[in-house]
Amino acid sequence: MSEGGAKPWDTDPILRVEHLTMRFGGLTAVDDVSFSVGREDITALIGPNGAGKTTVFNCITGFYKPTEGMLTLDADGGDPFYLERLSDYEINADARVARTFQNIRLFPGMTVLENLLVAQHNVLSRASGFSFGAILGLGQFGRAEQDAVDLARSWLDRIGLLPRADEAAGGLPYGDQRRLEIARAMCTRPKLLCLDEPAAGLNARESEALNALLQTIRETDGTAIFLIEHDMSVVMRISDHVIVLDYGKKIADGTPSDVRNDPHVIAAYLGVSDEDAQALEARP
Amino acid sequence: MLTVVAIVFFGRLALNLFVWQAEYPLAAPFAKLFTSEPFERRDLVTYAVTCIFGAAWIVTGLVLEEAVYGVLGTVVLLFVGLGLLRRAILQRFPDLPYAQIFIACGIAFALFFPIVSYALESVFHLGLPLRYWFDLSILILTYVMLGWGLNIVVGLAGLLDLGYVAFYAVGAYTFALLATHFGFGFWMCLPIAGAAAALWGVILGFPVLRLRGDYLAIVTLAFGEIVRIVLLNWTEVTGGPNGIAGIPKPTFFGLPFSPFAEGMTFSKFFGVPYDGLYALIFLYYVILVLALLTNLVTLRLRRLPVGRAWEAMREDEIACRSLGINTTLTKLSAFATGAMFGGLAGCFFATRQGFVSPESFTFIESAIILAIVVLGGMGSQLGVAIAAVVMVGGFEALRHTAGLQAIFGDEFDPALYRMLLFGIAMVGIMVWRPRGLVSSRAPTIALGDADTISGDLVRQGRG
Ligand SMILES: Nc1ncnc2c1ncn2[C@@H]1O[C@H](COP(=O)(O)OP(=O)(O)O)[C@@H](O)[C@H]1O
Ligand SMILES: [Mg+2]
């Protein structure tokens, strides 16, 4: 594990995960994992298949109740949110954590635009007087909906899907669906965006466009990004901070270059046995 | 009987010999009447042969003075003729908004049918069975309204509810009890019945929210039965199996229709002689307005956040929660809204019958309403309306069956086969159109001109 002075992500993290453990019956999918996600970083969570990455995401976003551990989301200014105490929809609505899924979960029978409007449900619902007002024609719903459409339109422009706004989301090509899912998550105006394998199944060009999109989200929207990724080259290129899981345990945590040279990581990725790893470690 | 079989048999044989080649299924040209695939030459031959047979049947019917052949021949000719007419119109004017025209014609017909037929009858004395027509159309409209109400829960929110009749019962008994104990009138009770049913929707909704799919269906079915059994056994309040009688009819802005009412009545006020049909026509318009209200509210809700959340929940509940949508509240709102319309329909049912008893609220009612929604195409307002007309009208048509009796013999009582035919129709639809009559989904908002979304992409919900 990389030692050394305090890392930037530890001094002012947006998310602090402490002693997170998740057991399914006898299986410990995540075992006492602690790390921090920096406020202005792109943080990557990597590890072999079945290492427990998605389980960590599900704990953070409330889809699983952690067996043990504490998840503190510290949005700037206000009181921190203790995510393990909130339910899944509150984590998005109140703590402002948005996520995408490893197997894309769009609303396939709704149009691209409708997908982005559903993401703005809470804002619109309040503006419509929880629909009681708007059904009687009261309130500012028209204005609010126009604003929502404008936000959706600007996101569609950014992901290049504006010409297909009125098509069914389920009919889009795979790469477009991945980007739409990210745009939909961003339409909830999150402080932290969690992406589960966003580059899976993308070709080189699409993967390049995705990197650019993530960079602009970090820079112009001020949203911290926490992503799971398989493709090491993508991870090395765009992330500021990498956490490595193997068999539910954290085996490395540091900058991409720290992690790349970490013998445990090399062992985990190349399938080298532990003794060999220790031998590697022992080398000067 | 024998001749019919012979004609059908030889007709088939002739078609097979002259028209039907191995790679050319007999049904193909007839299927084309419903689509816009291009015709082949042999299709036209098929149509010609079919029409000749139809005409031959009519002639046979005229010669033998047997109505059956005439009816069969006319049906065949009308089928092919109207189908070809449809194709011709489509070819001529491909861009007309046919769905809208169809809907407008339907609404116009519903609006003017009682007035026009009543006027025709009173001027020309045609002997039309108006009372029967109005009764039947009131029944159909009640089912249209119930179908639209359940469509919110099943079609939009994707929650399989097998106990919808419970809300219908709550609405009917709310009005019956308020009217017989406190003398409340129909118009005052209508919103109360709607609110009571909505409240029940929430109360029943709470325990079942965590259930999905089959489990939800079973528990809602049980709730429907519980309501009926409570009505049956709580004799002091509900009258048990005897039900509640003496429920008042609605008044026309305070004017009763009954000739025995004291004070001003509808007939006296307008200076027309008493006619029992007035009350019936009024009831017709009441249920028409209630049904259209259900439709308008649903169409509006679909474009509001809550309606989009219902549909999103049907598409993917987990994704909804990841976007901060409280799916518990969203499900409850769907249950409550659907239940409210069920309650309004129940209140109308009570006033129309003047009598309610648990017998009217059995599981088969829930099943029929659900069948209307599923056959119509879940989520489609138009499909549900068509399915209600076809199913309720079809059930009724089975009672007028001189033609069928001529074929199957005099002892044949088609009413006994209702359920069998119902089942066959369901199976047929499931094979032919597994997503119902209208399976496509209209987007609720668009930047440009949006097409409807193909039914293959639209999910039907698993909860
Ligand atoms: N809901 C669950 N029930 C039981 N076991 C689970 C569940 N979710 C994940 N697991 C198990 O936890 C382990 C980690 O899975 P996952 O987090 O999906 O891995 P990764 O995303 O790193 O590939 C796997 O062995 C998986 O079978
Ligand atoms: Mg995973």
Share of chain A above pLDDT 70, in %: 90
Q: Are residues B285 and B151 in the same domain?
A: yes
In this structure, is residue A101 part of a structural domain? no
Are A37 and A192 in contact by the 8 Å Cβ rule? The answer is yes
Q: Is A29 in the pocket of ligand 1 (CB under 6 A)?
A: yes
| B-chain residues near A105 (CB < 8 A) | 316, 318-319, 322
Q: Are residues B147 and B291 in the same domain?
A: yes
Atom of ligand 1 nearest to the CA of A102: 21
Q: Give the model confidence (pLDDT) of A44-63 as tens digits.
A: 999 888 889 999 999 999 99
Q: Are residues A88 and A166 in the same domain?
A: no
| A-chain residues near B318 (CB < 8 A) | 63, 101, 105
Which residues fall within 8 angstroms of residue B389, CB to CB, at 6 or more apart? B140, B144
Q: What local confidence, expressed as pLDDT, does residue A157 receive?
A: 93
C-alpha–C-alpha distance, residues B19 and B425, integer Å:
29
In this structure, is residue B415 part of a structural domain? no
Show which of A189, A210, A230 is a domain's final residue.
A189
Contact status of B91 with chain A (Cβ, < 8 Å):
no
Q: Are residues B216 and B314 in the same domain?
A: yes
Q: Give the model confidence (pLDDT) of A14-44 as tens digits.
A: 899 999 999 998 899 999 999 999 888 899 9
Q: What local confidence, expressed as pLDDT, does residue A284 receive?
A: 47
Nearest CA-CA partner of A170 in A118, A121, A104, A120: A104
Contact A92 B323 (CB under 8 A): yes
Q: Are residues A145 and A6 in the same domain?
A: no
* Contacting A residues, span 175-204, partner chain B, CB-CB under 8 Å: 184-185, 188
Contact status of A128 with chain B (Cβ, < 8 Å):
yes
Q: Are residues A72 and A111 in the same domain?
A: no
In this structure, is residue A237 part of a structural domain? yes
Three-state DSSP state, B54: helix
Q: What local confidence, expressed as pLDDT, does residue B414 receive?
A: 65
In this structure, is residue A71 part of a structural domain? yes
In this structure, is residue B117 part of a structural domain? no
Contact status of A93 with chain B (Cβ, < 8 Å):
yes
Share of chain A above pLDDT 90, in %: 43
Three-state DSSP state, A233: helix
Amino acid at A261: N
Are A167 and B446 in contact by the 8 Å Cβ rule? The answer is no
Residue A166 pLDDT greater than 50, yes or no: yes
Which of A103-117, A268-282, B297-311 is predicted least confidently?
A268-282
Q: What local confidence, expressed as pLDDT, does residue B419 receive?
A: 74
Q: Are residues A60 and A119 in the same domain?
A: no
Q: Are residues A153 and A210 in the same domain?
A: no
Q: What local confidence, expressed as pLDDT, does residue B415 receive?
A: 67
In this structure, is residue A41 part of a structural domain? yes
Q: Are residues B82 and B209 in the same domain?
A: no
Contact status of B325 with chain A (Cβ, < 8 Å):
yes
Q: Are residues B145 and B15 in the same domain?
A: no
Show which of B366, B397, B428 is a domain's final residue.
B397
Q: Are residues A89 and A215 in the same domain?
A: yes
In this structure, is residue A10 part of a structural domain? yes
C-alpha–C-alpha distance, residues B92 and B80, integer Å:
18
Q: What local confidence, expressed as pLDDT, does residue B346 receive?
A: 95
- Side-chain-facing half-sphere of A214: CA atoms under 13 Å: 30
Three-state DSSP state, A252: strand
Nearest CA-CA partner of B353 in B215, B224, B195, B186: B186
Q: Are residues B38 and B143 in the same domain?
A: no
Atom of ligand 1 nearest to the CA of A52: 17
Nearest CA-CA partner of B417 in B431, B388, B397, B436: B397
Q: What local confidence, expressed as pLDDT, does residue B22 receive?
A: 47
Q: Are residues B183 and B75 in the same domain?
A: no
DSSP B177-190: HHHHHH---HHHHH
Ligand showing the shortest atom-to-Cα distance for residue A29? 1
Atom of ligand 1 nearest to the CA of A228: 21
* Residue ranges making up the domain that contains B257: 129-397
Q: What local confidence, expressed as pLDDT, does residue B333 receive?
A: 93
Q: What local confidence, expressed as pLDDT, does residue B454 receive?
A: 78
pTM (predicted TM-score) = 0.84
β-pairing verdict for A192-196 and A224-228: parallel
Q: Are residues A133 and A196 in the same domain?
A: no
* Residue ranges making up the domain that contains A129: 106-189
In this structure, is residue B444 part of a structural domain? no
The CATH number for B356's domain is: 1.10.3470
Residue A194 pLDDT greater than 90, yes or no: yes
Contact status of A95 with chain B (Cβ, < 8 Å):
no
Distance A27 CA to ligand 1 centre (A): 9
Rounded to the nearest integer, the mean pLDDT of chain A is: 86
Sheet of A81-82: strands edge to edge? Answer: A27-38, A13-24, A68-73, A81-82
Distance A52 CA to ligand 2 centre (A): 7
In this structure, is residue A267 part of a structural domain? yes
What tokens appear for B127 in the block?
A: 């002997």
Nearest CA-CA partner of A268 in A282, A240, A249: A249
Contact status of B451 with chain A (Cβ, < 8 Å):
yes
Q: Are residues B86 and B211 in the same domain?
A: no
Mean pLDDT, each 10-residue run in order, chain B (463 residues)? 60 58 61 75 82 85 76 83 85 78 86 86 80 90 95 91 92 92 87 94 84 83 91 88 83 73 70 77 92 93 92 93 92 94 95 90 90 85 90 77 60 70 77 78 82 79 65
Q: Which of B302, B304, B462 to mutate to test the interface with A (most CBs of A within 10 A)?
A: B304
In this structure, is residue B134 part of a structural domain? yes
Give the gap in angstroms from C-alpha A121 to the nearest C-alpha of chain B.
Answer: 6
Q: Are residues B86 and B196 in the same domain?
A: no
In this structure, is residue B269 part of a structural domain? yes
Show which of A147, A166, A189 is a domain's final residue.
A189
Show which of B397, B420, B435 is a domain's final residue.
B397
What's the domain count of chain A? 2
Q: Are residues A218 and A110 in the same domain?
A: no
Q: Are residues A156 and A244 in the same domain?
A: no
In this structure, is residue A164 part of a structural domain? yes
Q: Are residues B72 and B195 in the same domain?
A: no
DSSP B320-357: HHHTT--HHHHHHHHHHHHHHHHHHHHHHHHHHHSEE-
Q: Is A24 in the pocket of ligand 1 (CB under 6 A)?
A: yes
In this structure, is residue B122 part of a structural domain? no
Q: Are residues A50 and A87 in the same domain?
A: yes
Q: Are residues B230 and B319 in the same domain?
A: yes
What's the domain count of chain B? 2
Show which of A189, A210, A231 is a domain's final residue.
A189
The CATH number for A245's domain is: 3.40.50.300
C-alpha–C-alpha distance, residues B26 and B17, integer Å:
11
Neighbour-count burial for B18-46, b at 16+ CB within 10 Å, e otherwise: ebbeeeeeeeebbebbeeeeeeeeebeeb
A:B CB pairs within 8 Å: 136
Q: Are residues A197 and A277 in the same domain?
A: yes
Q: Are residues A8 and A72 in the same domain?
A: yes
In this structure, is residue B260 part of a structural domain? yes
In this structure, is residue B159 part of a structural domain? yes
Relative orientation angle of helices B418-432 and B381-397, to the nearest 10 degrees: 150
In this structure, is residue A132 part of a structural domain? yes
Q: Give the model confidence (pLDDT) of B318-364 as tens digits.
A: 999 999 999 999 999 999 999 999 999 999 999 998 899 999 999 98
Q: Are residues B70 and B146 in the same domain?
A: no
- For residue A241, the cross-strand partners are A43
Q: What is the DSSP letter of B152?
A: I
